[in-house]
Amino acid sequence: MSVRVALIVGSLREGSYSRAVALALKDLAAPGLELVPVEIGDLPLYNPDLETDQPPAPWRRFRAEVSATEAVLFVTPEYNRSIPGALKNALDVGSRPYGHSVWQGKPAAIVSVSPGVIGAFGANHHLRQPLVFLNMPVMQQPEAYVGNVEALLDDEGRLTNEGTRDFLKTFADAFADWIDKTRG
């Protein structure tokens, strides 16, 4: 039976390299791991005053989509050695109302992506901090820091580098095992 996994991209940019890597992962993942893109770009900034009996429609859409999955795969760039604000906002929106977090207990994995050489290490590890509080067991190994990403893509933005594709396949397979393990 296949496991539905929310695929959340931290970049809102149309030509996003992170999205290119996320789409490659979606193609590479074994049939048992169904990666379902969940968009974050339309979410109003989290404000508890909007948490009425009729919260903003994009919040409701987002919460319902994540709730319909069993695990979460984050693919994110690094902004100023941390995660983009849009991604932090999505974490906040999904975490409320108190006691109804859509993240609760869901296994997670992180792929960070950058044109730079450090592979967005800072974003990868900053993201781990809120995931502790959100009680999401995060896969520890293998770690995925995709650096020099522009050199790995073709002119259409497809991930063509064989070594990276092999690595991401290994990563996706390890995540499937991790989800199995955490579900007991």
Nearer to ligand FNR, 96 or 153 (CB): 153
Sites for ligand FNR among residues 106-125 (CB under 6 A): 113-116, 120
74 binds ligand FNR (CB under 6 A): no
Give the Cα separation of 97 and 142 in Å (integer). Answer: 33
Nearer to ligand FNR, 1 or 117 (CB): 117
Residue written as token pair 């319909």: 68
| Residue from 5, 6, 7, 17 in contact with ligand FNR (CB under 6 A) | 17
Token code pair at residue 51: 């948490």
HSE at residue 69, side-chain half, CA atoms within 13 A, is 26
| Residue from 3, 18, 46, 106 in contact with ligand FNR (CB under 6 A) | 18
CB of 27 to ligand FNR, least distance (A): 17
CB of 143 to ligand FNR, least distance (A): 16
Nearer to ligand FNR, 12 or 138 (CB): 12
146 binds ligand FNR (CB under 6 A): no
- In the three-class reduction of DSSP (H, G, I as helix; E, B as strand; rest coil), residue 92 is classed as helix
Provide DSSP, 105-168: T--EEEEEE-SSTTTTHHHHHHHHHHHHHTT--B--SS-EEE-SGGGGB-TTS-B--HHHHHHH
Nearer to ligand FNR, 87 or 179 (CB): 87
Angle at 140 between CA 137 and CA 144, to 5 degrees: 120
CB of 156 to ligand FNR, least distance (A): 15
- In the three-class reduction of DSSP (H, G, I as helix; E, B as strand; rest coil), residue 179 is classed as helix
Sites for ligand FNR among residues 79-108 (CB under 6 A): 79-81
**Upstream peptide bond of 142 is cis (omega within 30 degrees of 0):** yes
Q: Which residues bind ligand FNR (CB under 6 A)?
A: 11, 13, 16-18, 77-81, 113-116, 120
